[in-house]
């Protein structure tokens, strides 16, 4: 079985095997700003690799699929809509290949690329590595379970919209989801 098939199978099966939501506090990304020193080159790689996805149609053409409704948390801000490329959930952290793109509606309702999310399934990650994932010097959040996803690590990088909560915070107060 190909690795991508294994990852997809894990994403479908593991949620049923996990404990209830164990996500870290919503402000967990705030302490990460000290780790941001020296991250300019890595964040530059992320921006260069994702610049073509400012047009959501380019992301769709490249295999990203809508993965969530617009995510927000009262008092914290939003993440936006998640577009995932499941084939990239492969147990490797590559600044040039984030697993998830985050889009938020602009003032006209058009989707705007605002951030990326690096995402690794714990079961796969731990078969390949002895320590939790990081992007350069910034450790991922987790392990966590939420929203029906398998036990995973993730890290948001707000490379396309400034985030007053921090470059690596989960939520951005400048991102608002449309009223339901």
The 10s digit of each residue's pLDDT in 82-115 is 999 999 999 999 999 999 999 999 988 899 999 9
Within a 10 A sphere around the Cβ of 5, how many other Cβ atoms? 10
153 neighbors 132 (Cβ within 8 angstroms): yes
Strand partners, 141: 154
CA distance 70 to 142: 21
Residue 178 included in any domain: no
CA distance 176 to 180: 12
Residue 135 included in any domain: yes
Domains: count for the chain? 1
pTM of the model: 0.81
Nearest by Cα to 140 from 123, 114, 121: 121
Residue 165 included in any domain: no
The 10s digit of each residue's pLDDT in 119-166 is 999 999 999 999 999 999 999 999 999 878 899 999 999 999 999 999
Domain span at residue 149 reads 3-157
């Amino acid at each position: 079985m190909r690795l991508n098939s294994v990852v997809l199978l894990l994403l479908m099966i593991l949620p049923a095997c996990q404990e209830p939501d164990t996500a870290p506090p919503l402000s967990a990304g705030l302490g990460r700003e000290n780790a941001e020193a020296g991250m300019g080159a890595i964040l530059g790689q992320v921006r260069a690799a994702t610049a073509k996805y400012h047009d959501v149609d380019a992301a769709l053409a490249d295999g990203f699929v809508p993965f969530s409704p617009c995510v927000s948390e009262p008092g914290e801000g939003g993440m936006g809509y998640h577009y995932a490329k499941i084939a990239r959930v492969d147990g490797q952290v590559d600044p040039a290949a984030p697993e998830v793109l985050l889009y938020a509606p602009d003032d006209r309702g058009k989707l705007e690329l605002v951030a990326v999310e690096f995402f690794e399934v714990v079961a796969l990650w731990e078969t390949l590595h002895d320590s939790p994932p990081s992007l350069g010097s910034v450790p991922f959040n987790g392990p966590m379970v939420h929203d029906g996803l398998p036990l995973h690590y993730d890290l948001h990088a707000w490379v396309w919209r400034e985030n007053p909560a921090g470059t690596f915070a989960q939520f951005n107060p400048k991102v608002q989801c449309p009223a339901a």
